[in-house]
Each structure stands twice: as structure tokens, then as C-alpha cells.
Amino acid sequence: MASRRLTEWLGRAVVVLLAAGPPSAALLARGFEARGVVALQGVMPETGGWQPATLTATVGESIRLRLTSSDVMHGFAIGRDNRPPVDVRPGQVTDIMLRFDRPGTYTFYCTRWCGPNHWRMRGTIEVTGSAVAPDVSAPAPYLALGIDLDAPHPSGVQPDGIPSAARGAMLEAGVPEAYFARDYVRRHSPAAAWRAFRGDSGMRAYSDQQLWDLLASVWRRNTSAAALETGRRLYARNCAACHGPAGRGDGVMVAALREALRAPAEDAVGHSRNRHTVAKPADFTDPDFLGASPVLLHGKIVRGGMGTGMPYWGPVFTDPEIWALVDFLYGFQFAYDPQGGQQ
């Protein structure tokens, strides 16, 4: 009987050791592995987006992010930050270290076109714990000027041909310097500025098309080759998929947006979706685009929306980047020579 009892206890010991050993080892490894590591999983927005979507960090302390993707390739970047984006490949682990010097709310976002709702793939990092004041951005200028971003902005006037900055540069001699001021340019749409030029008695000698050329030159003088290149790069990476490489509003994702129009009002993860919020992306080659001032465009980029599927880029782009993007957009109306700029 004693030996039978001993055998039974031996059997129990074998069961406990064999059964508990592997999971215990895994939990032990987890204890070592998990210290200071934050797992961040990239999932297409249709099935959840970043998981988790909210992270926390402390000023001055490094956090290690372990990035993975469970479906397609994503990219990870932090908005208004000059760290280069990191590719997040499906089934692979990518570790990155982050450290923040100022408290605040930082937006991280996907940098790869992972699906029709790619732009929804964003999350935030709440950084706390420092006496240093948070980096508070100045309000967008459209707010100070009381511009209604959602109001139509017909141009009313339009050129007969493509305005040329190079041709306009040769006509600048008699143009008042005030028209070249950055503040003037940013507050006025090309159409409004053209009307001002037309009404200026000093510029009566110019033909309508010459005034458009002159306008293109004024707009070009208010940017730089570097800014236009920055704008081109940002546009190609973030805007072209919807607005099209030539700015005609015919990007590769337009079909998916149309599909979204037909999709149920609730997506796979239960996000309610207004059927009317997805419209054709803006066509920057449309003459009415000349009715939009740089401040208006800046505001549209910052805030997004406008009753369309336009994302908000305020937490993602820095202010100089947004202005560079605005400058680049006018290149769809004006013939710029990027290499021949001033400044």
C-alpha cells in the first residue's frame, strides 16, 4: 500500500513538473522580456488600426517599442517629429527606442498605404512628467482670420492658359512691392490677387494673361526650391493616393473610396461611418482652386474634413511642412520652374 501511495505521488510530481514546466518557463521569459518594452501591433484600420492606440511615456525616459504587423506592411512615424519612418513588416519584429524631451500629446501614424482607410491608422503617445512646458502649437491662421473652411471658394476668374512664373518674372518691374509680401500672398487667393492687380491703375498696361503670369511669379517668389521639394515629397507620400499624382483627384484609392460609399454604415470594427462623408478628392487642376488662399489651404490640411474623407494633418505635419505642401499645390495651376526660384 505504501509503495502504491509513493507511486501515486511520483505520478503527481511527474504530471506537475511536465505540465507546469514549459508554461512557467515562458512566463519567466516574459518577465525578463517585457521590462520596458511596449508591444505595438499594426493592423489595417478596417480591422482595428494600431493596437494599442494610446501609449504613455515619461519625459526623459526611453521607451522601447516592439512593432509588428499582423496583416500588411505598415509604417510607423511620429507626427511633427523629424525621426525617419520605420517600416513594420507583417510577421516581423521591429524594435525602436523613443525618448521625448517635452510633455504633450504626440500622434503616431502609419506611413504606408495599407488600405482605403489608411489615414485612420493613428494613435497617440501621452508624454507626461516634466517641468518643461508642453510644446503648444500656435492656432492655425485660418482661425485667427475667421475663414470658413467649408464654404465654397469659386475663383470667378480664370486664365486662358497656364500662368508661367518665368514669363511673369520678366514683368515684375512695375509691380508694387506690397504684392510680394508673404502676408499678402498667404491671405489672398490667386483669383483675389488677380482682381487686385487688375484694379491697380499702375498695372493697367498688362493683359489679363500677363497678370496671371505675374501672379504665378509672385507666388513662386514666396516659396523656395527646397520648400517645393518638401511639398512634392509630402504630396507623393500622403496625398497622391487620393488626389492623384497630377492633382486631378483621380488617385489609386478613389475606387476604394467609392467602394466605401457603397459599404455598410458600420465597418468591421464597429466604427459608424456616415455614407456622405466620403466624396471625390479635390481636383487641384480645377480653375476654382484659384479661389483658395494659402491660409485656407493650410487650414484644410490642418483640420481635414470639409464633408469629405480628407484626413486631418495638423498633428502629423510641422507648420513649415504644411506651408511647403500648400506652395507645392499651386504648382498644379502655375508653371513653376523649381530650379529657378529665389530665396
277 binds other proteins per the rule CB under 8 A:
no
- Binding-site size for other proteins (CB under 8 A) equals 42
List the interface residues with other proteins, window 96-125 (CB under 8 A).
Answer: none
Contact 75, 90 (CB under 8 A): no
Q: Is 17 exposed, middle or buried (0-12, 13-18, 19+ CB in 10 A)?
A: exposed
Among 33, 150, 229, 337, binds other proteins (CB under 8 A): 33
| CB contact at 8 A, 278 and 264 | no
Among 2, 3, 4, 136, binds other proteins (CB under 8 A): 4
- Rounded to whole angstroms, the Cα distance separating 221 from 179 reads 11
With cell 484626413, the residue in question is 311
Q: How many angstroms separate the first and last alpha carbons of the chain?
A: 99
In the complex, least distance from residue 84 CB atom to other proteins, rounded to whole angstroms: 20
Residues between 60 and 79 that touch other proteins (CB under 8 A)? 66, 68-70
Return the closest-CA partner of residue 332 out of 246, 233, 226, 263.
246
SS3 category, 62: coil
Question: What is the enclosing helix (H) or strand (E) of 257?
Answer: helix 254-262
The nearest distance, CB 34 to other proteins, in angstroms, is 8
**Per rule CB under 8 A, is residue 93 in the interface with other proteins?**
yes
Out of 54, 56, 62, 92, the residue judged to bind other proteins by CB under 8 A: 92
CA distance 237 to 231: 10
Q: Compose the 38-57 pattern: x for residues touching other proteins by CB under 8 A, - for all others.
A: -x-x----xx---x------
- Which residues, in sequence order, are CB contacts of 8 under 8 Å at separation 6+? none
Residue closer to other proteins, measured from CB, 4 or 204: 4
Q: Which is nearer to other proteins, 46 or 321 (CB)?
A: 46
Question: Which residues are near other proteins by CB under 8 A?
Answer: 1, 4, 7-8, 11-12, 14-15, 17-23, 25-27, 29-30, 33-34, 39, 41, 46-47, 51, 66, 68-70, 90-93, 95, 264, 266-270
